[in-house]
Amino acid sequence: MTSQPPDPAPATRGDRELRADARRNRERVLRTAQQLFATDGLGVSLDEIARRAGVGPGTVHRHFPAKEALYLAVAIDQIRQLVAEAETLTAAEDPEALYSLLSRMMANGAENVAVKSALVAAEFDLRTAAPDVAADLTRHVADLLERAHAASAVRADVTADEVMALVAGAFAAIRHAGAETSRDRAAHIAQLILDGLRPR
Amino acid sequence: MTSQPPDPAPATRGDRELRADARRNRERVLRTAQQLFATDGLGVSLDEIARRAGVGPGTVHRHFPAKEALYLAVAIDQIRQLVAEAETLTAAEDPEALYSLLSRMMANGAENVAVKSALVAAEFDLRTAAPDVAADLTRHVADLLERAHAASAVRADVTADEVMALVAGAFAAIRHAGAETSRDRAAHIAQLILDGLRPR
C-alpha cells in the first residue's frame, strides 16, 4: 500500500465525487472478496470477485495486481471494521463491551482463517504491514479491559496481553476442532474461552 | 520406530538385564533430550545429550540416527508420560482429575513447543506417527470429562472434542504471549482457559 501523491490542483466537486466513488468501489470489492474467500475459499478469481462486487474487472486488477495484495487489504479492512465496532462499543459505556468486542474478534478470525493462513504463509505480519490499525485495535481492547476491571465485570488477574493471547488461542482452538465454517460451533468455543475471564 | 525382531532363543537372565539396561538408557536419553530441548533449544548436539544422560555417544547415535527421530521419540515419550498420569488420576476417583490432566497437557505443550514445531515443520503428525498413544490420551480425557460431568464439576455443554481443541488453543495462546519459557505465565493462561470449563 503506497500512499497517493498529493493532487497538483485543488479538487473540483467532480474530482471529489470520483474519488468517493473509487473509495466505495474499493470497499465493495474488499467486502465481496472477504465473503467469497470465507465461503468459497481462496481459489475464487479476481474476475469473479469483480462480477459479484458489480465493478469492472479492470478495477480489481488495477487495485490488486497480485492476489496477496488483496488478501492483505481484506485482512486490514477486517481490522478496520473491528476498530470501528470497538469505537461504537467504547462510546456505549457498557461494561459488557469487552466481551462483545472479543466475541467479534474471535468470530472474525475464524471466518477469515484462510486469508490469515495465506498471509502467514507469504510471511506477512499484520502487526508489521499495518502497525497503526493493529495498534488501534489492541489499544481499544486494553481500554475496554480497564473499564471492565473498574466495573468488576472481568476477573482481576487478567492482563491485556493475556486477552490478546486468548484471541489467538481461540483461533487455534476453532481450527483444531475444524469449526471454521460452522458459526455456532466456533461461537461456542469462543464462549468457553470468554467465560474463563468472568469474575468467579 | 520399527519393532525389534523376536529373540532367536529364550532370554537368559543376562539378556534380560541387558535389555532392561538398554530400555533405561533409552528412557534417560529421551528425558535428558526433552529437558535440553526445552531449556537450550533444538540446537543441542546428540553428543551433548549423551554426555548429560551419562551414556556413550554411540547409544544415542544408534537409537536416533536423525535428529527428527529423536524429536518424534521425545514427543511420543511425553504423551506416554501423560497417559501414565491420566491412569493414576483415573484410579483416584477425583472429579478434579480432568483439570489436573488438562493442566499437565497444557504445561507440557508449552514446554515442548520447539519439539512440536519441528515435527509440524517436518510434516510429522503425532496422531499418524503414534496413533495408539495419541488415542489413549484422547480416551482418558473423554473418560475424565464424563466423570466430571457426572459430578457436575464441569459445565454441561462442553464436549470432549472442544476440550481437546482448548488444549491446542492454550498452546497457541501461550506462544502468542511469548510465555513458553515462563512456567508461571504459561500456567496462568492455561488457568484462564480451564476456568471457562467450570460450571457457572
Sequence ranges of the domains in chain B: 12-65, 67-200
Question: Which pLDDT does position B39 carry in this prediction?
Answer: 86
Residue B161 has a CB neighbour count (10 Å cut-off) of 17
Question: Which pLDDT does position A41 carry in this prediction?
Answer: 87
**Interchain pair A173, B165: CB under 8 A:** yes
Question: Which pLDDT does position A123 carry in this prediction?
Answer: 75
**Interchain pair A197, B194: CB under 8 A:** no
Cβ atoms of residues A57 and A20 within 8 Å: no
Looking at the predicted structure, is the pLDDT value of residue B10 above 60? no
**Interchain pair A192, B168: CB under 8 A:** no
Which residues of chain A does B164 touch, with a Cβ-Cβ cutoff of 8 Å? 176-177
pLDDT digits (tens, 9 = 90+) for B87-143: 999 998 888 999 999 999 999 888 887 888 788 777 777 778 888 888 999 999 999
**Cβ–Cβ contact A187 with B under 8 A:** no
Residue of chain B whose Cα is closest to the Cα of A175:
B165
Grid look-up 496413533 returns B131
User: Average pLDDT over chain A, rounded to whole?
Assistant: 87
Average pLDDT over residues A142-171: 95
**Largest Cα–Cα distance of chain B, in whole Å?**
62
**Interchain pair A192, B166: CB under 8 A:** yes
Grid look-up 501414565 returns B84
- Minimal C-alpha gap between A43 and chain B (Å): 24
Assigned CATH for B67-200: 1.10.357.10
pLDDT digits (tens, 9 = 90+) for B38-73: 888 899 999 999 999 999 999 899 888 888 889 999
Selected for mutation to probe chain B from A195, A198, A200 (highest B CB count within 10 Å) is A195
Residue B88 has a CB neighbour count (10 Å cut-off) of 11
- Which among A66, A73, A85, A67 is positioned nearest to A25, based on CA atoms? A73
Which residue among B169, B174, B200 sits closest to A193, beta carbon to beta carbon?
B169
**Cβ–Cβ contact B182 with A under 8 A:** no
ipTM (interface pTM) = 0.82
Q: Quick one: what percent of chain A has pLDDT higher than 70?
A: 92
C-alpha cell at A12: 473540483
Which residues of chain A does B159 touch, with a Cβ-Cβ cutoff of 8 Å? none
Residue A7 has a CB neighbour count (10 Å cut-off) of 9
Q: Which of A138-152, B126-140, B143-157, B158-172 has the lowest mean pLDDT?
A: B126-140
CATH class of A75-200: mainly alpha
What is the CA B137 to chain-centroid distance, rounded?
10
**Cβ–Cβ contact A20 with B under 8 A:** no
Looking at residue B65, what DSSP letter applies? Answer: S
CATH class of A12-65: mainly alpha
Residue of chain B whose Cα is closest to the Cα of A167:
B173
Residue of chain A whose Cα is closest to the Cα of B175:
A165
